[in-house]
């Protein structure tokens, strides 16, 4: 199954490695790493909510299609014809 956490962690770890390599000031490095961790947490939550939303939408779509297939179109057509003939009787 696809998991976005691994991709998010890979990107965020590369950012941390960049900070570790190029930022020499300890206070700035700590602040930047805190920012990167906050980004990771937010992005993971957003990805989870998005995946949950898509999962729910797909489940409800399958239910709607299943219910549409249960609809009796022949009875619906008979009802429409009955109503049409009644309208024609009234107008004549």
Taking only the tens place, the pLDDT of each residue in 47-65 is 999 999 999 999 999 999 9
User: Is the separation of the CB atoms in 17 and 32 below 8 Å?
Assistant: no
pTM above 0.85, yes or no: no
Q: Across residues 78-82, what is the average pLDDT?
A: 87
DSSP 7-70: HHHHHHHHHHHHHHHH---HHHHHHHHHHHHHHHHHHHHHHHHHHHHHHHHHHHHHHHHHHHHH
Q: With pLDDT > 90 as the criterion, what percentage of the chain qualifies?
A: 67
**How far is Cα 52 from Cα 90, in angstroms, rounded to an integer?**
54
Residues 6+ apart with CB under 8 A from 61: none
| DSSP 3-state of 88 | helix
User: Is the separation of the CB atoms in 4 and 44 below 8 Å?
Assistant: yes
Q: Across residues 35-47, what is the average pLDDT?
A: 96
Query: Which has the higher per-residue pLDDT, 46 or 78?
Result: 46
């Amino acid at each position: 199954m696809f998991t976005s956490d691994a991709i998010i962690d890979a990107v965020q770890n590369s950012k941390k490695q960049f900070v570790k390599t190029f930022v020499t000031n300890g206070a700035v490095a700590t602040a930047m790493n805190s920012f990167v961790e906050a980004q990771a947490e937010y992005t993971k939550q957003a990805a989870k909510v998005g995946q949950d939303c898509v999962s729910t939408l797909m489940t409800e779509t399958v239910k709607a299609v299943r219910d549409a297939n249960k609809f009796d179109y022949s009875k619906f057509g008979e009802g429409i014809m009955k109503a049409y003939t009644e309208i024609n009787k009234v107008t004549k």
